[in-house]
Every structure is written in C-alpha cells, then in structure tokens.
Structure 1
Amino acid sequence: MIDRVGTPLFEGGDWNFELIRRIYDAVEDIALNEMKLDVYPNQIEVITAEQMLDAYSSTGMPLFYKHWSFGKQFLANEMMYRKGMRGLAYELVINSDPCISYIMEENTAMMQTLVIAHAAFGHNHFFKSNYLFKQWTDAEGILDYLEFAKAYIMNCEERYGQQAVERLLDAAHALMHQGVHRYPRAKVRDLKAEAAREAERHAHQESIYNVLWTTLPIEEKEEPTAADYRRQALNLPQENILYFLEKSAPNLAAWEREILRIIRLIAQYFYPQMQTKVMNEGAATYCHYRIMTRLHEKGQITDGAFMEFLQSHTNVTQQPMFDSGHYGGFNPYALGFGMMQDISRICTDPTSEDRSWFPDIAGSGDPDEVMKHIWANYRDESFIGQFLSPHLIRSLKLFKLGDQEKESALSVDAIHNERGYREIRRTLARQYDIGWLEPDIQIVDVDMAGDRHLILEHKVTNGIILAAEDADQVLQHLANLWGYGVRMNEVEAENGKVLKEHRAEPRTSDN
C-alpha cells in the first residue's frame, strides 16, 4: 500500500487559472525532476470548442493565411460535432519555442491535468529531442515565419487580386505532398552561370595540360550529351516539385514564387510529423500515464480523479478489432503506448525470449533512459522494425495475410513462430515507411531551349498506380504553374516499363 500524504490539487471538476498554475507546477516537478524530460518553455492557451474547430481547419497553427478550404473543413467538422457524430481533441500542441499547448475551457480539472502532462511535457520533449524535428523544423522561427506568411499573402491579395492568389494556393496545396526535401540536395543552379563556370573549368584544364599524359592508356567514356548537362545543371531528377517550380518555372512572377516557397516550407515543417505519428503519440501517452500515476501515488489527485483519468486513457488507447464498426486501422495511441509499456517491461522484468531478441536493453533497469534514446533516434518505421516484440505480437494477436491479385483465396504468410514474428514485424514496419505511403514522383527532364515540356516519372511500387482522376487534376495544377505542357509516365520501379501516361496543358483563368 502507498501512503498518500499529499494534499489533492483539486476536488471535483471545476478549475480556475490559479488551479491551472498549481497543476502545471506539480506536473512539471515530476516531468523534469523525476523523469528528466527536456522541454521547450511552455505556453498554455485556454480556448473554446469553436476555437478548437477553427484550429482543426488550419492544421492546428495559431497564425495561418486564409483559404477557402479551411472554411470548408471548419463547417464540416462543426456540423459533425454539433450532431454528436464527432468529438473534439482535448488538446492541441504546436512544435514551437515556446511550445504552445491549447486546452479547452470545457475540460474538467482532471482533464486539464492530463492534457498538460500529455502535450506540454510528452509531445514537447519529443519535438525537442527527435532527430527528424531537429533536422527539418525550426521551432524558434516558425511562429514569426507564419506571421510573415499570413501578412505577405494578405498583401498579395490586395495588390494582385484575391482570385489570382486563390488559384495559386489551390495549385500549391495540390502539390504540397510533393513539396518537401526528403534528403538534403544541392541547390538548383542558374543555367547561364553554370555554363560560365563550365567554360572556366575547361580553360583551367587547358592551362594545366601536359602532353606527357597522352602516352598513358585512356579509358574510353561515353561523352555527356547536351541533355545530360541540362539535367545536371537543373539538379534533375528532383523530388521536390514546388522547389523546382519556385526556382525554374519560366512565367511565374516574384510574388508567386514567394508564395510557393511559403507553402513548401510549411509542408516541410509537417514532414517529420508524418513519419512519427505512432512514436509521438506513444511517447506523449506514456508520459501522461507515468505522470498521472505518480500524482495519484503522491496524493495530489484523488481516487475519483484517477478513475476518471483511467477511463479517458483506456478510451484513447483502445484498439478496435478488425470486424468492429469502429475499426480504421491501427490506433497510433494504442500501438505506440503498447510498445512503450512493453519496452519498459523488457528493461525491468525481461524473459529469456526478451533477452534473445533485445540483448542491448533487456534487464538494463533504466527504462526512462532507453525510452529517451529511442524517442531521439527513431521514426515509426525503424521503431516498429526494431522494437516490436514477440510478446506484444501475441498480445495484439497479429499475423500476416497474403492477398495476391492472381490468387482466388487469401493465404496466411506469417504466424506466431520465430520466422513469423520477424516477418510480421517487418511487414508492419513497412506500412509506416514514407517511401510506401507517398508516391515516388520526380521531375526527370525539361528542354528549356525547346518546347519546354516538363517530364515527370512515377516509380510504381507493387503495381499500384495513381488514381487517374486525382492524378489528372493535380497534373493540371502543375501545368498551370509551369506554363507549358506536362507529361507524367508511371513506370515499374524494377524494369522501367511504362504502365500509364498522363498529359496536361496549361489553362488560363478564362478557360
């Protein structure tokens, strides 16, 4: 039995701002002094349900430019909320410095405690420590940049017309998922400047020429063609389509290029979140569970408040079965929290199986340090691929089904044995691979001195081609931005065989 000698922070569900301060201080003490979390300074904002709906519509950002799609999303969410068909998140957190956490005024005191533990410390630590967020996001500068972006787009609407700006935003939004750098790339160079540099290099080679070298055998190499030089100068192939348009589209005005830059930088900001949904929610849920349990042990929340917490926590981490009406794939809270709890078990109370599968962490006795190392250095794919255990596979009743197009029946390809565990883990991890989630579409060529047609290539994985109607609509937006014709070939990744071709010609605002 635990002797709970502390005084409860609250009784009942009512709260005020002074209580929020006391709750924050109690949560902070456990998070920083006991769990040793490393967080940005926190900024807690209390908002209404309507403000939460508004935040939903603008991807959760506190400062955002205006666009008709945000209003459409707001109305759809509001209608479903008012009809009781959808609930609202209890919190919303922004990866910024300071880290902004929104808490709803309708929440009970217990829920405000849970939200602060989950968002202001769980998510906050993950944002600050994970390598993807360090590599791709600027927590200190994002709020200032959003303020600039909002003002810039509003100014463009006044100067060039709301319709022109809206058309540009429509096209940029359609290409947003193809507007990120997945790997560091060299800058696209100016063709004339590149030609001048090539002449300088050639002159340098002539100046150091020595006839003695002609007596050595020379390996014959295929001479680069004009197309090779052009692709090299344009840094092709290029997976970041918005970046290429911003730098190379012939007919865009300076303000249009700046708006494309705004959209792609915002897309880049969200890129790490696409790859860490399971880990991010799992880490935040693990933190709030540890903190709320510790508050209860210290007597700072009552038994009634702790029961209320457990009910909410259980609802969030529930995994609907495949044959239930609520099934929508793997619940990231359930999978992430389940894996964090399982790793903690492996660190403190491992079985012989755990020691065989996880020799580096089994029995280490310090789950918090192991967890922080994982949060800092993995993304969903690698996290699942390395730390999903046979014990959790059995608990979740996972197995692998084969569904081949040419076969009339399903096949069971992996069960609960040594080989099956590895195959299940590998297959599930692949479902979170960004290379499988997002189509591999790249600009491969453009003849800047000829017809200026833009040529793209989609490398098809597992024979899955793009939905024709959606692909044609997005390609039309691309042609409008480029100003000339666009062609996209869908090819098999293995052999380059063309499976389908899409074409689009630019349209003016009048047709």
Structure 2
Amino acid sequence: MIMTDIFKPAVKAEKPLFDGPDWNFDLIRDVYDAIAEVGLGEMGLDIYRNQIEVITAEQMLDAYSSIGMPVMYRHWSFGKRFAHDEMYYRKGARSLAFEIVINSDPCINYIMEENSMTMQCLVLAHAAMGHNHFFKNNYLFKQWTQADAILEYLAFAKKFVADCEERFGVSAVEAVIDAAHALMNQGVSRNAAPRRRFDPAKARQREIKRREYEIEIYNELWRTLPQSKPEAKAEEVVIDPTPPIVPEENLLYFLEKYSPKLPAWKREILRIVRVLSTYFYPQRQTKVMNEGCATFVHYEIMNRLYEKGLVTDGSMLEFMHMHSAVVYQPGFSDRGFGGFNPYALGFAMMRDIKRICLDPTDEDRKWFPDFAGNGQPMETLKDAWANFRDESFIHQFLSPKVIRDFRLFHIRNKSEDHAVRVEAI
C-alpha cells in the first residue's frame, strides 16, 4: 500500500504547547518532548543524547570566535574574530545565528535567549533532531570524527597549550599555532582512511611520560659546569627522521612525524591542530546535505506539531516567515547572489525525494527507478543521509524538476573559445 505522507492522521491536542513569544525552561522541556515524540517516534530519527544550553548574544559571539567549540585553547586569532563579529553585530550590520550545534556525544545545542518560543521550537527541531541525526549516521562523520571523545580531547588540548605557554612562553606557543593554523586546510588525509582515532587518555599518557622523562634526566649539577656549546635538549631528538617513501598530502602529519628538529611539545600542538582539522573535514564535505536534512526535519516536525494542534496559527506564521528566509535562493542575476544557498538546495532536494517516493511522475520513474513510488520517503532519505556526501548526493538525486525549479544551466567556458556558451538549460 502506497502511503500519502510520512505521518499517520494526527489526533488534535486540547490546547497548544505555548501561545506567545515568552519562554521558560519548563516550557522548553515540554516542547522538546513533543518534538522528540515526532522526530524519534514518528520519523524514526536516530540521535545522540541532547544537551541544551541557553546563551546570550555575547556568548554566541564567543562561540563564533572559537570555531563554535565549547572548549578551546587560547589564541589571538579568536579574540580578533570576536572583536570583528561584535563590531558588526553592535552596528546592526550582521545578525547572529539562532543556534549552534556541536557534533559530540551528548550533542550540545546552544540556543539564544533572545529567541521567541516559536524560534526555540524551530531551532530545537532543526539542531537537536536534524543535525543530530545527520552527525550520528552519516558515514563521513563516523569515519572522521569521534563524537564521544572530542570534548575530552579539547579539554586536554586547552590544558596542554596553557602548560606550554607557562613553560616556553606565550610568544613561542603562538608562533607554533600560527604556523599550524596556516596549514590547517592541508592537515587532512583526504584520500586515505584516518590512521588512528584520537584517544584523550593516550594523549594525556604521552604528556605524563614526557614530563617524567624530563624529571628523570634532570640534574642540577650540570648547571654548574662550563659549556662550550649549547646543551642539546632531549626533546629535540627525533626517533625516525626518514621521510616516507609514499608522498604525503597531510602537511601537518608530515611535519609532526618527520621534522628533524621539532621539539616534542611542538609536535603535540601540530597533532592538536591536525585533529581539529580532521574533525571539521566532514562538515565541509556535507554542507548541502547537513543543512538540507536539518531544514527538512524542522519543516516536517513543525507542520506535524501544527496538525496536532500543539502550535498556534500565529506561531506557524512566524515559523513560515523564518523558514522562507532561510531557504530563499537569489537568482544568478540578482545583486545579492553569492552562489547556491545550501539550505535552499538541500531542502528542495529532500522535499523532492519525498515527492518522488509518494507521488512520482513518469519522468521520475525513468530517472529514479530504484525508489520512485516506493512509499517509504523516510527510509529513502535516511539511507541517503547515511551513505552520501554533497558531491555524490547531488549526482545521484538531483532531479529534472529541481533543475527546472532552480533554473540551472550549463556553461562552457574554455580558453580556446572566444565567448562563454550556454550548452544546456
């Protein structure tokens, strides 16, 4: 039997969950429970535990500056970013995100205290359900990140960098981090599986052994002897300086393992930056899918809550206003055009997959014979969310209807041609 929608007919509630913009923590808990009932119970999402934090605008700016992470080592670039974002925010030239979600276990969701209750409901459905499900199930995040260890590792990284600043000086540590940040985008082994999943306990053990060795070899008497040459530091001894036979694309890994003169503490800092670069790599590869998944989930959940009578007409109008702004795609000739809006393209493709599963046309059956008319939109979407990245997802699921809706066209721009030519519309 072919279903006509994701959900079964709704049973109307006696009264809505809230009426008006004001919120409190008990209300947020009740709304989250209702959202979870739809997301987990009816849509079958699979998520990490959620940790919801309500923060101020200044705390949101602070989260911006530290790459959105709740714990981070100190560096001048974070303060520079904070001052830059704060200036634009105070002048009204830039707004803040309604939420930030961290790929961790538990999944940390930062929501703004300035949000109305409708917006809190929206961002909880978007982040705590949509992003959370994608983080836990997509193969790239499974392969490249370790959600249950990242917070502990960041705490170790913060302490290690602070200890290095105390022992070797702030300037010396900043110079190493500056260099590592400059190579951060070249700190990922893109064409190979990660060599080893990071382990905070092992990282702490390495630091303990390093300290114990320094204490063991230290002798105060050596300071009284005249020295004709600078004393070689034990940290500067490299076990295996032989470069690898196979070319290495990961520059941070190469410097960490094969630099002939790099002290151990600098190698550890390079390792920290490399781990962070690897952690963020899947997010750069799945922007359209991740935001499309979260936007689709919040759209379905909010409409389901409205069908159940848990959201008022006024709240639904506010939601539709914000949702429309999020998925707006300027035309290529508009002054505000800056490329594809990942929210718009991702959401359109998710909705189109649902349509193809439930009400396909002959064209859809020709293009997508594997799932057209299968009556299982959520199963099809969850399979796509788990097994694709942006590039492969668009190649596999971009339909002629979405191509027409977005008015996509193919341009030939070759050096041997005298003009740019539109080859397909």
Query: So what's the TM-score if we normalise by structure 1?
Result: 0.71
Change in Cα spacing, 1:271 to 1:186, as seen in structure 2 (3 Å) is closer
Alignment match of 2:344 (pick from 313, 334, 351): 334
Aligned twin of 1:146: 154
8 Å CA contact retained: 1:7, 1:299: yes
8 Å CA contact retained: 2:69, 2:102: yes
8 Å CA contact retained: 2:242, 2:258: no
Alignment match of 1:46 (pick from 54, 69, 72): 54
Distance 1:232 1:363 in 2: 58
SS of residue in 1 equivalent to 2:159: helix
- Match for 1:79: what amino acid? M
Give the number of equivalent residue pairs. Answer: 373
Aligned twin of 1:388: 398
Aligned twin of 1:474: none
Change in Cα spacing, 1:169 to 1:8, as seen in structure 2 (3 Å) is same
Aligned twin of 2:66: 58
SS of residue in 2 equivalent to 1:151: helix
Distance 2:243 2:14 in 1: 68
Distance 2:292 2:87 in 1: 30
1:335 to partner: Cα distance: 0.3
Distance 2:150 2:25 in 1: 28
Alignment match of 1:293 (pick from 295, 300, 303): 303
- Match for 2:333: what amino acid? D
Greater relative contact order structure (CA < 8 Å, 6+ sep): 2
Alignment match of 1:157 (pick from 140, 155, 165): 165
In the alignment, structure 1 residue 247 sits paired with structure 2 residue 260: no
SS of residue in 2 equivalent to 1:45: strand
Change in Cα spacing, 1:253 to 1:364, as seen in structure 2 (3 Å) is same
Distance 2:277 2:27 in 1: 37
1:407 to partner: Cα distance: 2.9
Q: 1:225-251 CA deviation, whole Å, 9 max, x = no partner?
A: xxxxx9996142001110011011011
Aligned twin of 1:184: 193
Aligned twin of 1:236: 246
Aligned twin of 1:508: none
Distance 1:323 1:76 in 2: 30
Aligned twin of 2:45: 37
8 Å CA contact retained: 1:6, 1:298: no
In the alignment, structure 1 residue 20 sits paired with structure 2 residue 28: yes
Q: 1:314-354 CA deviation, whole Å, 9 max, x = no partner?
A: 00000011222221110000000000000000000000000
Richer in strand (by share): 1
Distance 1:5 1:34 in 2: 16
8 Å CA contact retained: 1:186, 1:235: no
In the alignment, structure 1 residue 123 sits paired with structure 2 residue 120: no
Q: 1:477-511 CA deviation, whole Å, 9 max, x = no partner?
A: xxxxxxxxxxxxxxxxxxxxxxxxxxxxxxxxxxx
- Match for 2:84: what amino acid? A
Alignment match of 2:364 (pick from 350, 354, 363): 354
Distance 2:180 2:416 in 1: 39
Distance 2:329 2:256 in 1: 43
Aligned twin of 1:318: 328
Aligned twin of 2:230: none
8 Å CA contact retained: 2:243, 2:258: no
Aligned twin of 1:71: 79
Aligned twin of 1:113: 121
8 Å CA contact retained: 1:403, 1:410: yes
- Match for 2:47: what amino acid? V
Query: So what's the TM-score if we normalise by structure 2?
Result: 0.85
- Match for 2:75: what amino acid? H
Q: CA RMSD in A?
A: 1.7
| Identical residues among aligned pairs (%) | 62
1:185 to partner: Cα distance: 6.9
Q: Deviating runs (4+, > 4 A) in structure 1?
A: 230-233
SS of residue in 2 equivalent to 1:397: coil
Aligned twin of 2:174: 166
Distance 1:185 1:18 in 2: 43
Q: Which protein shows a greater Rg?
A: 1
- Match for 1:98: what amino acid? P
Aligned twin of 1:438: none
Distance 1:154 1:65 in 2: 7
Alignment match of 2:183 (pick from 171, 175, 182): 175
